[in-house]
Structures are given as C-alpha cells and as structure tokens.
Amino acid sequence: MRIAVRAFNDNPGSPVLVFGNALGTRMPLWTSVAARLADDYQIYLTDLPGHTVSTGGSLAEAAAPLTIEQLASGLVESLAELGVESFAYCGVSISGAVGLTLALNHPDVLTGLVACATAEKFGTPESWDERIAEIRADGTRSVVDDTADRWFAAGFLGEDIATGHLILTDLALIEDEAYIAAASALKTYDLSGKLGSISTPTLVMAGAQDPGCTPEAMAEMAQQIEGAHFVTIPDSAHLLMVEHPEIVVDHILEFCGQL
C-alpha cells in the first residue's frame, strides 16, 4: 500500500521526523508544528489513503477496507522509496495507532515515537458501524459539528483562529469512502495487552480536555510502555497540535533531543 508522503522542508542530514494525521484531516494539520521544527529536522507529512486532494483514480484503492497494520507497513514502504530507512514518528488519533503498531511491528526503523491523543483501542465495532452508517447516509459534512466539539477545547473556535475552521473544512471535503475505509481500520484495531512489548522510546501526549482519549486513559496507556514519558497539553482537546503548537513543539524538542 502506498501512503501519500511529502517532504515539508529540505534539510538533508538532519534527523527525520514524520507526522501522521487524524481521521478526516489532511497534511496541513501539523504545519504549525512542522514550521517550528524545520531548522532542526528533515520533516515529512503524510496523509491517510484517499484523504489527499483527489488525484483521479486513486480513490478506488483508498476506499478498500483497511487495517492499521497495512497503514503502518505502507508507511514504511513509502518512506523507503524516498530513501528514508529510519525515522521518528509523531501521530495523532488513528495515526497514533499507526505509531504504536510501527513500534510493535517495525521497531528496527523507528527511532522514537510521539503518540498523541490516541488509544490501544477506539470504541467498539458497533460504535464504528454506527459512524460508518452515518457517513454513508449523510456524508462527512454531517459529522462536522459533533466532531468540532471533540477536536477542540471549549471556546477555541470562537477566538477567530483560522486554523481550526480550515481543519473542519478539510473534514467536510474528505471523500466519504476514504473516511469509511479508515474508520473500518479503527473498527478492527485492538492492541490491548500488547503495549508492554514496545521498546521504542515513547512520548505520550494528551489534551487536557479531550473527551475521547482522556488524559487519565492515556496516562494508563503510557504506564504500559516501559520508559514512556507522559505529558498533558493544557486548554486543548483532541487536536492539541492545532490549539497549542508551541507547547507541543517544546515537548517534541525535549523528547527528540534525548533520542
């Protein structure tokens, strides 16, 4: 499986840092963080299958049922085609799941992991069936309002910060079948009881007001990973890198500086 990967900057010889997105978001999700790190790292941004702006016939492959294992393997293969043999990975939500899977299945290529607003299991198969049915019936636009309440802390969108509204616009424009395919990967994803096998240096990052991947749940998850460091980003919810990129960058720099 090919994963859309784009170089954010041109900084050859620097440590490689790869970013992965949440379901229903695109590469710009991490740009405020990436821009602050561009002087010190060679940065690559990635998209989930079908989430990139449409390029014709690519949607058919992207709409096929996916697994998190396939996304992790596809990322390793796609980066290798660009000459990237090892990298640190920073993923949020579904891409945090990809990161945890990389640490379990591809530890030889992973120099470090930053797992943001993620989990060892998301919801239940039944809850994902309900989400998928909603998207099939009414499209991604129908979930924008409810998703905004999960993604951003109270008051953030009212501060007239354009980034949040741009991210929600991306959600509304994602092809329904691409969203459903990625959601199907979360339906079958379950790393319960496996995180203790992770040996990759790991930073676990939670949003203080995240209603889904709560700080309490993420702290418990971090305790399962030997040596993992846990931090909470204040005044933020699920998309903490959008709400407080400067704080997120500080933690990434401190963590990656120790790798």
pLDDT value at 75 more than 60 = yes
**How far apart (Å, rounded) are the C-alpha atoms in residues 168 and 38?**
25
Per-residue pLDDT, 57 = 46
Q: Alpha helices, DSSP H only, in the chain?
A: 31-37, 58-62, 68-81, 94-105, 125-138, 144-151, 162-173, 176-188, 215-224, 240-243, 245-256
What pLDDT band is residue 60 in, cutting at 50, 70 and 90?
A: very low
Per-residue pLDDT, 52 = 84
Per-residue pLDDT, 61 = 54
Mean pLDDT, range 46-69, rounded to an integer:
72
Residues 6+ apart with CB under 8 A from 185: 65, 66, 67, 68, 70, 71, 94
Q: What digits encode the pLDDT tens for the residues 18-51?
A: 999 999 999 999 999 999 999 999 999 999 998 9
Q: Alpha helices, DSSP H only, in 110-175?
A: 125-138, 144-151, 162-173
